[in-house]
Chain A
Amino acid sequence: MAKCIKWFSCLLAAAMVVVALPPVIFAAGPLPLTLGVGDRYAVEVNTTAGQYYLYAEYMPLEGYGEDLTATVYVNGEKLDALYTFDRLYQNDLADGAAFETNPKGDHITPIQKQLFQRTAISFDNEAELLLLADGPQRIEISMTEEGIELYELAVRPYAEPPAYAEYIAAHGGAPVGKKVVIEGEGAALKSDGSLYPISDKASADTSPSSARHELLNTIGGSTWRKSGQWLQWDFSVPEDGLYEFSFRFRQNANVGMNSYRRVFIDDETPFRELLAVGFENSNSWQKQTLGDGNGAYYVYLTAGDHTLKMEVVAGQYRPLVDSARVLLNELNALYRDIIAITGAEPDIYRDYSIKDVAPDILDGLKTYSVALAELEKQLVAVTDATNEGSSILRQLADRMEKMADKHREIAKNLGDFKSGLSSMGTWINNMDNLPLEIDYVVLGNEDGEIFKKVGFFGRIGYAIERFVDTFIRDYDAIHAQYDEVVTVWIGTGNIAGIDQMKILNNLISNQFQDTYGVGVNLKLTAAGALLSATLAGIGPDVALQIAGSTPVDYGLRNALVDLREFPDIGEVLERFHHSAYDPFTIEGKLYALPETQSYSMLFYRKDILQSLGVDPSSLRTWKDIWQGVLPELQRQYMDFGFAPSLDNYLTLLYQKGGDLYLDGGRRSGLATEQAVEAFSEFTTLYDSYGLPIAFDFLNRFRTGEMPMAVADFTVYNQLCVFAPEIKDLWAMTTLPGTYDGDGHLVTTGVAGSMGCVIMADSQHKEAAWDFVKWWTDEQAQYEFGHRLEEMLGDAARYPTANLAAFSRIKWGAENRSVLARQRENIDSIDQVAGGYITARFFEFSFRDVVYDGKDARETLSSAVRKIDHEIALKREEFDLDN
């Protein structure tokens, strides 16, 4: 019987023969073998023509936690598809144990533990298949981001699973009615650490359900959305026979579209229909039994243990998204061709004679407009209705057709064309988003009653119980077991929010409270509340994510604890670059420990610089930029982005060896010769070189109007998420520098940080110190950042100030090295008494010079007099010597 199950596959595969030749090894030694980044391994086989797939047995290596991607070469030729080996995760609980509960009776989200064990993978999704000809073949894999331990690599003939009709004809047995329920949250294995069980209280039908407690009762949702992510459940059935599969699920994020999943039973997709099962969009929970118009599909199972695996696949959207992405790249190039002639802000009444100057632009518009219309037709055919995507494509196609027909009015239509391109980019991005939340899966169909229901009164009762519970719930019970409780405030805004608070709370209850015997009462508060609360004497013990001059301002007024009073401060500070805590230091006292730190980097569009013939690695100094690239960019109506901020001015100043303050914060440093020189250079950029004073970097970078810019490195993540259509077309690198007298290149950049403070009124200073030490430590910072990114995606990548934790965050090898190189050369903005006045007069002076054409030197020196006066007043106020 077992042999017969795969009769159909055997039939097809019989014609294809694989003769394995001895493997050719590039990394040293025979299998098993550790393949690091860049290592290659090849197998040579003799094949007959046909479709094949790669089969590998391997163990994931920990590395940075990035995807285990590999590229594959067939006879030396690189394939487009990226092959990703799975990582394996599971709940960190004892085998078969239930979720742990806290004293309130709520479930604690289990930590997701990565497993390092031998496992197998078949690369048999459509895009991954190998099309091989007759004769000897050489298949090579090369790891691109991370490493694996490889045990076996084989090329196997591929046979598509049979159609359901053939499958069912080959299997006897009767349908089994007895129900087997698989709870979604109990998934035994998952491909991603973000696929942890979650809690749903929106529906009383969700299983299990409690109005009083937060129970983990579903899995997936917004984190289970990227192609390749999968969940696997273990289950066992009591008898041999045919089983149907029914799901209680929710897909409320992908409006108007299906989310697709490939279904595996015991690591095989039994029939073709399960290669892509669609789950429809709706706001509420839905129920679906696998099947088609003729009724449910049956899967034959023997009595005993089995696994069910569901993997995110793009399904029918895949080819559409791929061609849309290619098309968009070409359209962006076309847009740049047009603005090379008209400029980004063309005169709409002028005829740019595009027909004579660049007739190929008109051809391009026509061709791509037809291609877009074709794509729209395919999309409508797949989704059976017009939707957001189809109307975006239709409008863009119409717009382009119009531009091609009325070539004199191209300039007039350019703005709409550009916004059409960015909507198309956003739409493509959304198409890759295929979320699904699973409550439970039911096998069998007893009395036609698959899903349990609480009914109308049950729902009302549930709602009433939830409401009443809000009055009697004791939120402090959770800390009752600890003698000492520290109150910690995390301000909203910046990067804090409800998700961050949840993650931090989870970390605290798992890793801090019991270890230190200190309870933590974490509260999310409005950003401005700290001042009033301190004034009223009801402030916290510790406040997190305090930015800018606040620690020093509070410290000068004796509202914060000087952290240098703690004896072990020295070793704690070794975790950070000195520029991270310098801004929290004044008069030798330290008022905060750094949590996050970020600094500027140079961003550039590879494709555009290449078309201009500029090699980014040759741009080492600012002079190279202003005299080498800038004229070239401006000739094409493009810009260089360098915002007129104090940070950017200080970059120039620090590189010339100047400083913002002298004599330990007693005098402004802007009167020095370097400062004046840097200031004239800086203002010249805007009044003579014509750099834009205000701009929207993300949008202009995306369209290519601003192919180079200096921006904070956290913008990298925003770009990844905001502009996926230019993925791989851009990069970031270290800042340009300035040569000093000895011919050394100085590339100093300016960094900003946020930190946590201990309030002077606190009654638990030692416990609070334990907490901030724990929180700024490598492990806590790494895990916080890691989970944040898993929960919210790349845009939430956490710029931790802890050096060891930062180097473990998944930036990718290239970015990690440029960021590390820039970090060796950063400096901070020092805080002094009365420091607010510097930024103010810097701004005033800048505008006086650029807008009113005043002399840079005079303006700056009169500003310095005012700054020095203010500093002197403030130092007097705090009894500091002048």
Chain B
Amino acid sequence: MKIKKSGFWAKYGEDYLFVMPFFLLFFVFTVLPVLVSVLYSFTYFNVLEPPEFIGLKNYYELFIEDDIFMVALKNTLLLSLVIGPAGFVLSFVCAWLLNEFKHALRTVLTVLFYAPAMSANVFLVWQVILSNDSYGILNSFLMRLGFITSPIDWLHNTDYMMPTIILVSIWLSLGTSFLSFIAGLQNVDTSLIEAGAIDGIRSRWQELYYIILPGMRNQLMFGAVMSITSSFGMGGIITQLAGYPSTNYAVHTLVHHLEDYGGMRYEMGYASAIAVVLFGLMIGANSIVQKMIRKIGGD
């Protein structure tokens, strides 16, 4: 039997074939779960028994009755407004500075800067540094110098939790976007820089804004998406450091709220509704940031 090829398959068939492996994986493990969780968000689902359709009740409770959700939303926005841009800018500045070094040295420094992101649980050193034991590194240091007399519970005292978490997260944010910036900086066409110098670029800042940044717009876009996704998705690190749930929900994020309902209370339907809201937030933030980045280099 011969399969009759239509014009479309004859023309694009091979292309789709090549995309197929990735698309299958992406669909099964990313797209499908998102769709399923949208469906679950309209049900009561306690994980152990079959789900039950309850319409918009989850969303109603989420926005009208759940005051912890508002706390989580506030914390998530605060963390992403500080950590997202700060991490993004810091990544770029580090990449820009590193780019000035000679090749061999640059490679070594890149590895050093990227190392914290590579070794997954390295932030646990902060647990030792910030431990509330009087033998914790920071506490014992401050006590020795006489600034404090009894240990401070950096990670459980609501007065200190947010700043502490923000500092640790910024330290950690030199991740994938940093690497892509390094690559981007090397891709910028040097002839453009020469041409710019002839055309009257007066400073490194002008060169940066008018030539380098527009030249690596794709990498910036990628970096921004990564920063936003990771800052909205913050949860695991906070749990490891500040415990779960954090004191008075002081650093409770949407991801925590989601885990709280999905894992602790076995209310997967409600957790799905939270996930859908989080998903919407990320999409929205991404499109705003992308628009901003497109403006770079304009007048």
Where the two chains meet, the residues of A that have a C-beta atom closer than 8 Å to any C-beta of B are 345, 347-348, 531, 534-535, 553-554, 557-559, 690, 692-696, 834, 836, 840, 843-844, 847-848, 851-852, 874
Contacts and interface: CB of A to CB of B under 8 A. Distances in A.
Closest 4 CB pairs of A and B: A557-B48, A559-B48, A694-B133, A851-B157
B189 interface: no
B134 interface: yes
B144 A694 contact: no
A621 B244 CA distance: 34
A694 B131 contact: yes
A847 B158 contact: yes
B206 interface: no
A531 B247 CA distance: 28
B49 interface: yes
A535 B36 CA distance: 15
A553 B140 CA distance: 42
Nearest to B134: A345
A787 to B, nearest CB: 35
21 contacts: A345-B134, A347-B144, A347-B146, A534-B48, A553-B266, A554-B48, A557-B46, A557-B47, A559-B48, A690-B150, A692-B133, A692-B134, A693-B132, A693-B153, A694-B132, A696-B135, A844-B248, A847-B156, A851-B153, A851-B158, A874-B265
Nearest to B268: A535
A847 B47 contact: no
Nearest to B263: A531
Contacts of B248: 844, 847-848
Contacts of A531: 47-48
Contact of A836 (B150, B151, B153, B264): B264
A305 to B, nearest CB: 61
B166 interface: no
Nearest to B244: A840
Contacts of B151: 693-694
A253 to B, nearest CB: 30
B75 to A, nearest CB: 16
Interface of B: 46-49, 131-135, 140, 143-144, 146, 150-151, 153, 156-159, 245, 247-248, 264-266
A843 B48 contact: no
A852 B247 CA distance: 12
Contacts of A690: 150
Contacts of A834: 265
Given A847-B157, A852-B158, A840 B245 contact: yes
A529 to B, nearest CB: 14
Nearest to A639: B134
B133 A696 contact: yes
B46 A844 contact: no
Contacts of B49: 557-559
B151 to A, nearest CB: 8
Contacts of A851: 153, 156-159
Contacts of B46: 557
A534 B46 CA distance: 12
Nearest to B150: A690
- Greatest chain B CB density within 10 A among A692, A694, A843 is at A694
Nearest to A695: B133
Nearest to A528: B263
A509 B170 CA distance: 56
A694 B266 CA distance: 31
A535 B264 CA distance: 16
Contacts of A694: 131-133, 151, 153
Nearest to B131: A694
A865 to B, nearest CB: 13
A843 B248 CA distance: 9
Given A531-B47, A852-B157, 16 more contacts: A345-B135, A345-B143, A347-B146, A535-B47, A557-B46, A557-B48, A558-B48, A559-B48, A690-B150, A692-B134, A693-B132, A693-B151, A694-B132, A694-B151, A847-B156, A851-B158
Contacts of B48: 531, 534-535, 554, 557-559
A836 B265 contact: yes
Contacts of A347: 144, 146
Nearest to A700: B135
Given A844-B248, A851-B157, A345 B140 contact: yes
B120 to A, nearest CB: 18
Nearest to B160: A851
A650 B159 CA distance: 28
A550 to B, nearest CB: 11
Nearest to B44: A877
A554 B47 CA distance: 10
A554 B157 CA distance: 34
Contacts of A558: 48-49
A769 B157 CA distance: 48
A844 B247 contact: yes
Contacts of B266: 553, 557
Contacts of B146: 347
Given A553-B266, A557-B266, A843 B134 contact: no
A852 B146 CA distance: 22
A694 B159 CA distance: 18
A554 B48 CA distance: 7
Contacts of B135: 345, 696
Nearest to B68: A866
Contacts of A348: 144
Contacts of A345: 134-135, 140, 143
Contacts of A840: 245
A851 B248 CA distance: 12
A558 B151 CA distance: 46
A847 B46 CA distance: 32
B140 A843 contact: no
Contact of A847 (B131, B143, B150, B247): B247
Contacts of B134: 345, 692
Contacts of A847: 153, 156-158, 247-248
Contacts of B245: 840
Contact of A843 (B131, B144, B247, B264): B247
A202 to B, nearest CB: 32
A556 to B, nearest CB: 9
Contacts of B131: 694
Contacts of B47: 531, 535, 557
A557 B247 CA distance: 29
A535 B40 CA distance: 15
A742 to B, nearest CB: 40
A355 B247 CA distance: 47
